[in-house]
Amino acid sequence: MEPPHNDTRNTSNPGPGRRRPWVVGISGASGTPYAASVLRGLVAAGEAVDLIVSRASRLTLLDETGIAFRDAHWRSDLREWLALGADGKPGTFPVTEEKLADVRYWPAADLAAGPSSGSYPVKGMLIVPASTACVAGVALGLSKDLLQRVASVTLKERRPLVVTVRETPLNGPTLKHLVALDEAGAVVLPASPAFYAGATHIQDLVDFVAGRVLDAAEVPHGLYRRWEGELRGGSKEEAPDPS
C-alpha cells in the first residue's frame, strides 16, 4: 500500500529548483475526461502536479469510467484512468510510472495537507470539472474539504485559479457565485467545447476544453488546432506524408 503523499523530499528550503506544482482539484461534476486530459497535458509539459479528488468526484469517476479511485492505490488507479480515451477505450494513451513520477496525491479530507497553507509553494490551482456546489463553496469561502480550502488559499495568495464549471442551465445563485469568483481574480472557464478546430471525435472536443484550461494557466500544449484567421481552416485535411 502506498501512502497518499509519498514525496519525502525536503520542502523547507526555498532555494532554486524547489518543486512548485499545479494543484488540480476534481469535484463531483460530470466531466472526468476533461480532468484526465488536463492532467495528461500538465504531465506532458513537464509540470509537477498535486492532485485532490473530492469524495463526490469518486462516484462520478466510477460512473463515467468504471474506475474506483482509492487512496491506498491512487497511483495505479490514476494510471488506469489517464490511459482511457474520452470514449472509454482502455489503453488509448500510454501512461507510464515514470510519467507520473512528479504527481503527488492529497486526500480531500486531509485539511492538514501541504497545499492547505499559503506557505506551501504552488504555481496555482485548476478545478476541473467544477460542480455548482464546489463553485458555491469556493465563492463563499466555506473550506469544507481540502479542495475548497486550497482554492481559498489560492485566491488569498493571489495565485492563478481556473474554475472549469460544468453545469447547465445555470441559476441565479450560481451566476452570482461565478461573478464573485471573477471579482476575486479567478478565471471562470465553462466547459464549452468549440467546433472550429475541426473536431471529428469526442476526444477532440474534450481536448479543446482541456487546452483552454492549460491556456489560462499558460502551460504549453498541442491539444487543439488554434484559430489562425482562415475560414474552414480547422476542417482542412492534413497534408499527406511525402515519405
Average pLDDT for 105-109: 98
Average pLDDT for 180-199: 96
Amino acid at 94: P
Q: What is the mean pLDDT of the chain?
A: 91
pTM for this structure? 0.90
Band the pLDDT of 5: cuts 50, 70, 90. low
DSSP three-state, residue 91: coil
pLDDT for residue 157: 98
* Burial (Cβ within 10 Å: 0-12, 13-18, ≥19) of residue 81: buried
Average pLDDT for 63-90: 97
- Which among 142, 130, 78 is positioned nearest to 106, based on CA atoms? 78
Alpha-helical segments (H) within 16-72: 32-44, 55-65
Is 199:208 a contact under the CB 8 Å cutoff? yes
125, β-bridge pairs: 23, 161
- What percent of the chain clears pLDDT 70, i.e. is strictly above it? 88
For residue 67, count other CB atoms closer than 10 A to its CB: 15
DSSP three-state, residue 127: strand
Residue 1 has pLDDT above 90, yes or no: no
pLDDT for residue 228: 87
| Per-residue cell: 95 | 501512461
Amino acid at 68: A
The C-alpha atoms of residue 210 and residue 187 are separated, in whole angstroms, by 14
